[in-house]
Structure 1
Amino acid sequence: MRRRSLLAAGGLAAAAALLPGRARAEEAVDVLLVLAVDVSRSIDEDEARLQREGYRAAMSDPKVVEALQGGILGAIAVTYVEWAGAEYQRQVLPWQRIGSQAEANRWSDMLAEAPRASLSWTSISAGIDFSVRMLAEAPFEGTRRVIDISGDGVNNSGGPVEAARDAALAQGIVINGLPIMNDNPTFGRRLSIPLDRYYAESVIGGAGAFLVAAESFESFGVAVRRKLIREIAGAGGPVMNYA
């Protein structure tokens, strides 16, 4: 009886491992990438649409797929996170391995169907903290761990962003930034310096960290594509870039 039970359990485990999208424990990828996206109320519906479409188009772009296939392991793992004030962070898309055009297209389609919220304040610090937890829970093992923070304002909720950044860097995590340069109200702390400089000084960090600033929501898609290619490749270059 015990032998039959063990065989049955083994058969169930083997079948579960074959389910589409199921990750093998500690499957290796070149990069673990958290896309952490601002959904605070300074981003209106039209801008939110441009933001989503930018990520969808960038991830399924053949040049991005070519870059991820060019790594040592030929694949990355990605999760898509949205954040607003200190009270709101959520994982919109679970961790998924992307190593082919078909997998990239499937990820893009899933993002198109995912619901979106719009909330109040901007807590980059809480977004970083939540992203660190997502990396700790990833069912993959990455040779690099990267948080990609995009947003259109400064930290005005929760703890200091510098403290969250430094805690992440202490774990060997790299934080890159995609500030969106626009004239939307910040609903709180006013900008004392340009947003790209704020991201450079207070948000990004780690080996090879960089930012690509989008001059507007309309240019956001170009900025995301450029940024993904560089993140996946782990390429050096200027700390600040513009699209």
Structure 2
Amino acid sequence: MSASAAPPWPARRLQPTAAAPWGPTLWASLLCGVALLLAAPDVRAQTPVDLALVLAVDSSASVDESEFALQRGGMAQAFRDPEVIKAIESGPFKRIAVTVVEWAGHADQAIDIPWTVVDGAAGALDLADRIDGLERQILTGATSIAGALSFANSLLLSHPFEADRLVIDLSGDGRNNQGPPVETIRKGVVAQGVTINGLAIVNEHPTLNYYFEDRVIGGTAAFVEVANDYGDYPRAIRRKLIREIRTMNISAPSVPTSQETARAWRPHATELATLPAASERW
């Protein structure tokens, strides 16, 4: 079997517009849409998956073309990996749903690959080929982890499947510098049953994994994977996908325990306190 895509999503999130008057025509259109929705078959019930996974890839100004290519190539390589395929095939339904998005500033998100069912080796290899062929849509921008989480959450809440688990897999090389506080968004996302995992690329900011641990990740069995630099991204995303799909640890964990994290975080608290909330350093 091969990967099959759900109906295409818009390339970018629509921006709010001025409210239109609620006249008879608008009400008629709304009621017609509701009727069609109620009459439509229950797609979620027809397509159960073990996991609905949003792969959110950093495309901000701190990521150059070669670094973005390493993220893209690392994801593709991971879905060709036998252990990743084995993890997919080991679930009760033997399939997962995946969507790939880019993120940068608070209003800058793009869907690279719409929701796609990956149902074994053929599906995983097909998805890998599609990832290899992606062209970058967002060329620059701030680093809004808050915006990325909000966008990813909206995709999970409207995905066309019946999923046992909902997971956001966010990769990034910096701290939130635009939009609302990450902790506020995290709280709302996790409250809806979503798990947020992080892949911290620490080549520019060696303490980024502690920031992700403290402020970004959340939900059931949430964890942070570390890539030492973009060249290390393929190893890290492979390991992270296996762990997310299997929902179990593989070999030794790559992140400190909560007590170790707390001890390691304290020396960096002063550093973070001196940074303005919208510092372009991050």
**Match of 1:240, SS?**
coil
Task: Give the aligned partner of residue 215 of structure 2.
Answer: 202
Q: Percent identity?
A: 43
Q: 5+ residue gaps in structure 1?
A: 1-19, 184-190
Asked if 1:134 corresponds to 2:155, the answer is: yes
Query: Does the 8 A contact of 1:162 with 1:203 survive in 2?
Result: yes
Q: Deviations over 1:165-205 (max 9, x none)?
A: 1100000100000000112xxxxxxx6x8100000000001
Which residue type is aligned with residue 212 of structure 1?
Answer: E
Relative distance call for 1:33 and 1:223 in structure 2 (3 A) is same
Distance 1:156 1:74 in 2: 39
Q: What's the C-alpha RMSD, in Å, of the aligned pairs? A: 1.7
Which contiguous aligned blocks of 4+ residues in structure 1 show a shift greater than 3 angstroms? 236-239
Task: Please name the residue that 2:4 is paired with.
Answer: 21
- The residue type paired with residue 38 of structure 1 is D
The residue type equivalent to 1:233 in the other structure is: R
The equivalent of 1:172 in structure 2 is 193
Shift of the 22–59 alpha-carbon distance from structure 1 to 2, 3 Å rule, reads closer
Letter in 2 for 1:154: R
1:60 Cα offset (Å): 1.8
Give, in angstroms, the shift of residue 100 of structure 1.
Answer: 1.4
Secondary structure (helix, strand or coil) at the match of 1:219 reads: helix
Pair 1:84-2:101 in alignment: no
Match in the other structure for 1:219: 232
The superposition leaves residues 74-95 of structure 1 with CA deviations (integer Å, 9 ceiling, x where unpaired) of 1100000110001201111000
The letter for the 2-side match of 1:21 is: S
Q: Deviations over 1:110-164 (max 9, x none)?
A: 1122220221200000000000011112111110000001000000011111111
- Is the 8 Å Cα contact of residues 209 and 239 (structure 1) preserved in structure 2? no
Checking the alignment, whether the CA contact within 8 Å between 1:180 and 1:217 is kept in structure 2 is: yes
Note if contact 2:5-2:117 (Cα within 8 Å) is conserved in structure 1: no
Question: TM-score, length-normalised on structure 2?
Answer: 0.73
